[in-house]
Amino acid sequence: MTLPQPLNFIEELKWRGMLQDIMPGTEEMLSKGPVKGYIGFDPTADSLGVGNLVQVMTLLHFQRCGHQPVALVGGATGMVGDPSGKSAERNLLNEEQLQINLNAQRKQLEKFLDFSAGPSQAMIVNNYDWFKNFSFLDFIRDVGKHITINYMMAKDSVQRRMETGISFTEFSYQLVQGYDFYYLWKHLDMKLQMGGSDQWGNITTGTELIRRMEGGEAFALTTPLIKKADGTKFGKTEGGNIWLDPVRTSPYKFFQFWMNSSDDDSKNYIRIFTTMTKADVETLVAAHDQSPHLRLLQKAIAKEVTIRVHSEEDYNAAMEASEILFGNAPTEALSKLDEDTLLSVFEGVPQVNISKSELEAGIPLLDLLADKSGIFPSRGEARKLVQSGGVSINKQKVSDPNAQQTATDLLQNKYLLIQKGKKNYYLLIAN
RNA sequence: GGGGAGAUAGCCAAGUGGCCAACGGCAACAGACUGUAAAUCUGUCCUCUUCGGAGUUCGAAGGUUCGAAUCCUUCUCUCCCCA
């Protein structure tokens, strides 16, 4: 991946709103030619979530600007536990789980960066590799000696835990992460560490260590914590976290997550999560403001991100499903679908099997919604939502909680599309 | 060790013998309006319900009473002040 004119990475981050803190001299260092920079990923789950996507994009932009991005998976740091942003001591992961998480994350990271040979070839490293044979005594002699407790205690992540308590393990985390930077600097000529703003403290311990151990110079920058316009956390919905793993979050849901972002948020997201140029973004934002109901921004983000994280096919399927579900004449569109299309459209929608013969005999609506399908935990809840107009079958509102559901409405003589609220769909399959 | 304050639904927070399934706010969910947006308005928000009700709650366990979140006893935990 060679670009005709390498972009200025810092400028790029600035207009995208992705620059929080930067160490003096960083921009100058970057301007001298391609350098290596890395970001660490904490293996707390077996999949990255959209929150991690910010850091992935930082690496991607870094690479687009002609530099060499390195993703570090925390096989060692994951065993310790980062106290940053945590109000209480964490539970340690067992090694088996850690290994699973590590491999899963590594695989995901490989999708985003360009690993083909060249001056900006991406790399993935695992800090377990240089920690596994580093004994405790050697570590406290060779590394710990260079950093004072006073320095470590001054960090925000530690300060905030002074009242409630912090274990020695978590306290030493910054030193472990700091040594990563030193090691990479020493052996891979790593010049820059990046990360979320909560990592600033850990990162600077690294640059400090490099200076004290060898008088070397290393640089750092962080990205701001992304928040939604209403101040709530980014990347979570009613259903929980939005994951990159299609098993955890279906491509349809993933696509919908971006489609649902508010206007204000999407103006930020388009900058962070797409590689569109500044001019294109500005044009699109202007077009969006002209006719916001077209949701141009949401569509553009959802498209690019879904394709990057999943695939073009997944995007097309999600898009098609969304058009049918949210389009102008959804009921008609539904009944026109042939079975294959219908199934592929609703691939990401929970499916429930029910008995066709019972349905032919007629099932009381509430039985169907609660006992038979488990869509509602109780009949009372089903009744309440039906009464308040929150339930649709095949995109047609049902209003009578005492109604019977028969087989006459079956799509393709086999399926019923149940809708709970506006955005939760279930496909009932009559066998 | 001494003294004081407190523990109420996801969170904050009223309530000190019956009118309490418990004011109010936030969060959440649904509806209306829209554009699958925001804001606003409305409804739901312990569990179950044949929507008439039924059952289980107010740190825990006992007790007083016709009746307790409210009074008494013991226990557990949290916070503050003094040593």
- A166 and A63, same domain (yes or no): yes
* Nucleotide nearest the Cα atom of A255 (by C1'): B36
Q: Is the pLDDT of residue A165 over 80?
A: no
Domain CATH number, residue A406: 3.10.290.10
> Domain tally for chain A?
3
- Residue A2: the pLDDT is 47
Distance CA A36, CA A23 (A): 16
A223 CA, B18 C1': separation in Å? 60
Contact A401, A364 (CB under 8 A): no
A87 CA, B1 C1': separation in Å? 32
pLDDT band at A89 (very low <50, low <70, confident <90, very high): low
pLDDT, mean over chain A: 87
Q: Report, as an integer, the average pLDDT of A34-63.
A: 92
- A85 and A112, same domain (yes or no): yes
- A48 and A25, same domain (yes or no): yes
Domain CATH number, residue A257: 1.10.240.10
Residues with CB under 7 A from strand B: A 229-230, 232, 237-238, 256, 259-264, 292-293, 295, 298, 322-323, 326, 366, 370, 377-381, 383-385, 388-390, 420-424
A380 CA, B64 C1': separation in Å? 39
ipTM for the whole predicted complex goes beyond 0.85? no
- A63 and A211, same domain (yes or no): yes
Distance CA A64, CA A27 (A): 16
* Nucleotide nearest the Cα atom of A376 (by C1'): B29
pLDDT band at A238 (very low <50, low <70, confident <90, very high): low
| Least confident residue range of A31-35, A153-157, A237-241 | A237-241
Domain contains A338: no
Distance CA A148, CA A381 (A): 59
Cα-based torsion angle of the residue sequence A236, A198, A53, A46 in order, rounded to the nearest 10 degrees: -70
Q: Report, as an integer, the average pLDDT of A140-157.
A: 90
A380 CA, B55 C1': separation in Å? 15
* Percent of chain A surpassing pLDDT 70: 94
- A76 and A163, same domain (yes or no): yes
A264 CA, B23 C1': separation in Å? 37
Alpha helices (runs of H) in A143-194, residue ranges in sequence order:
149-153, 156-159, 168-171, 173-188
- Residue A329: the pLDDT is 67
- Residue A181: the pLDDT is 95
Q: Is the pLDDT of residue A3 over 60?
A: no
A164 CA, B71 C1': separation in Å? 37
Contact A119, A66 (CB under 8 A): yes
- The domain containing residue A409 runs over which residues? 351-430
The torsion angles phi and psi of A72, rounded to 5 degrees, stand at -105, 125
Residues contacting A46, CB < 8 A, separation 6+: A97, A100, A101, A104, A105, A245
- The burial class, CB within 10 Å (0-12 / 13-18 / 19+), for A231 is exposed
A3 CA, B18 C1': separation in Å? 81
- A261 and A405, same domain (yes or no): no
- Residue A87: the pLDDT is 62
Cα-based torsion angle of the residue sequence A300, A302, A305, A306 in order, rounded to the nearest 10 degrees: -130
* Nucleotide nearest the Cα atom of A237 (by C1'): B28
Domain contains A339: no
pLDDT digits (tens, 9 = 90+) for A189-229: 999 999 998 899 999 999 999 999 999 899 999 999 888 87
- A14 and A127, same domain (yes or no): yes
What secondary structure does DSSP assign to A296-336, as a single string?
Answer: HHHHHHHHHHHHHHS-HHHHHHHHHHHHHHHSSSHHHHHHH
Higher pLDDT, A151 or A233: A151
Of A167, A197, A223, the residue that ends a domain is A223
- Chain B bases under 7 Å from protein CB? 28-32, 34-39, 43-44, 47-51
- A101 and A203, same domain (yes or no): yes
Domain CATH number, residue A168: 3.40.50.620
